[in-house]
Structure 1
Amino acid sequence: MINALLYLVLGVGMGTLGGIFGIGGGLIAIPALALLFGMDQQLAQGTALVMVVPNVMLATWRYHQRTPINPRHALTLGLSGVVAAALGSSLAVRLDANAMRIGFAVFMLALAAYNYLQMFLRKPPPSSQLRHPWQWLLPLGAGSGLLGGFFGVGGAVLATPVLTSVFGTTQVVAQGLSLALAAPSTAVTLLTYGVHGHVDWAMGIPLAVGGLLSVSWGVKVAYALPERLLRSAFCVFLVICAVMLFLKA
């Protein structure tokens, strides 16, 4: 009972941060589970997905209520992402856990660097509309789904910076579209990890409940924060988690 309450509280914190950054909590939960509970990388990713799947669905709806998500764009990203996520997750469950952890840390550092550089590059003012044809979303969905399935994070963490930099959208529009991409891809990734026994359901379910209680609050905070502050906080968080994972590996 005490453990379940601990996981519930942890889920509340992860859900809040997931709502703020538009990532469903997976990028937060995976290093936390690996570092705090000593899980191997695949088990941490699979268990985090139990929380991520419902969080992503709720966060997508909350973003859509505030800034309507274009259904064509969401469908394009979602369909291309879910196929690639199935491929990525099938590969991930067969790899060495320590190598996966190091790869995950490198992925977070690269993502932080990319996000940080985007704040200083000159580009047109962000818009709620795509700068390029919607068909360009197909390779973005596939690439994001592949990495999302491989690392168990749903693809939103890659899609968001690309949507803001290449497609010229605002941060909140990018986060809403990225969540629409992540919803189906996280579900198929969780199924893959579950089939291969890389999920701790007793921990994952309380985490999911805590996340559902707090993700809406996180979305509200995201809309209240200045865009540069939101990006900077995300980058700092990624670097801290990556360094801790390197020390653990």
Structure 2
Amino acid sequence: MPVFDIGLNVLLGLALGALGGLFGIGGGLIAIPVLGVLFGLDQQLAQGTALVMVVPNVLLAIWRYHQRNRIDFRHAAALALPSFCFAIFGAALAVSLDASRVRLAFVGFLFALAAHTLLRAFRRTAPGSGQLRHPWPWLGVLGAGAGALGGLFGVGGAVLATPVLTSVFGTSQVVAQGLSLSLAAPSTGVTLATYALHGQVDWMLGLPLAVGGLLSISLGVRLAHALPERLLRVLFSGFLVVSGVLLALEA
């Protein structure tokens, strides 16, 4: 790959990493449609390549979120362990499915989450906190479902977990985003390995994206903690819609 192209991919990774830090998703959600539209990758290859950037970004973002809002190890483990197990099945299923059907299912998933998040942003609800409304072992159910979705779509587990944590478990948006990253870390790792074993990863494209993402994701985390709760939810909802539209345009 020419040096100029590598440089452009690093710059793209910078933008994706900042968005990933802001919304607690590692950047993969927007990277998948971008890779499909700009580089012409099919759905599975775009998902696998995006994960090359997502995995290190998620690990760094977890640390940054933990520095600002301590992540409870029990809560993180209750989410991460079942997520890891169910991500294996989701990823194995994804590489055998028709790419266009996976893409359309992902678009519907994003629009539904966007509508839910936007509704909660303008509805009168009790302020979120760092405490869980329900006993923490129930997080295992969320981890299982989110892990399966993350394996199936390449990303998406953290995106599902964030609104569930705020609406069902009563956490604030930034606490939910930090916990969602904890959920995503093991599932994205095993999903990347599965895609790589099936030849669904473009490493020469993914590695420069990862470098750019690591340089900018901390900036996104700082911004997430500086924004008002409602504004962050509105932006999160709009981000999901934009991602879904880009994916739909790829069809």
CA distances 1:219-246 after superposition (whole Å, capped 9, x unpaired): 0011111111111112112212212322
Q: 1:40 aligns with which of 30, 42, 65?
A: 42
Alignment check: 8 A CA contact 2:23 2:177 kept: yes
d(CA) in 2 for partners of 1:192, 1:80? 17
Aligned twin of 1:186: 188
Q: CA RMSD, aligned part only?
A: 1.0
Identity %: 65
d(CA) in 2 for partners of 1:176, 1:237? 18
Q: Does the residue aligned with 1:148 lie in a helix, a strand or coil?
A: helix
Alignment check: 8 A CA contact 1:19 1:218 kept: yes
CA distances 1:30-82 after superposition (whole Å, capped 9, x unpaired): 01101111110000000000000000000000000111100000011010100
Q: Does the residue aligned with 2:155 lie in a helix, a strand or coil?
A: coil
Alignment check: 8 A CA contact 1:154 1:186 kept: no
* One-letter amino acid of the counterpart of residue 215, structure 1: I
Q: CA deviation at 1:135?
A: 1.1
CA distances 1:193-244 after superposition (whole Å, capped 9, x unpaired): 0000000000000000100000001100111111111111121122122123
Structure 1: tracts of 5 or more residues without a match: none
Of the structure 1 ranges 91-100 and 12-21, higher mean CA displacement relative to structure 2 is found in: 91-100
Q: 1:230 aligns with which of 226, 229, 232?
A: 232
CA distances 1:116-174 after superposition (whole Å, capped 9, x unpaired): 12223443221110000011101000001110111111511000110000000011111
Q: 2:122 aligns with which of 120, 137, 141?
A: 120
d(CA) in 2 for partners of 1:121, 1:154? 24
Structure 1 stretches of 4+ moved >4 Å: none
CA distances 1:78-136 after superposition (whole Å, capped 9, x unpaired): 10100011110110011111111111111111111111122234432211100000111
d(CA) in 1 for partners of 2:157, 2:67? 22
d(CA) in 2 for partners of 1:238, 1:84? 23
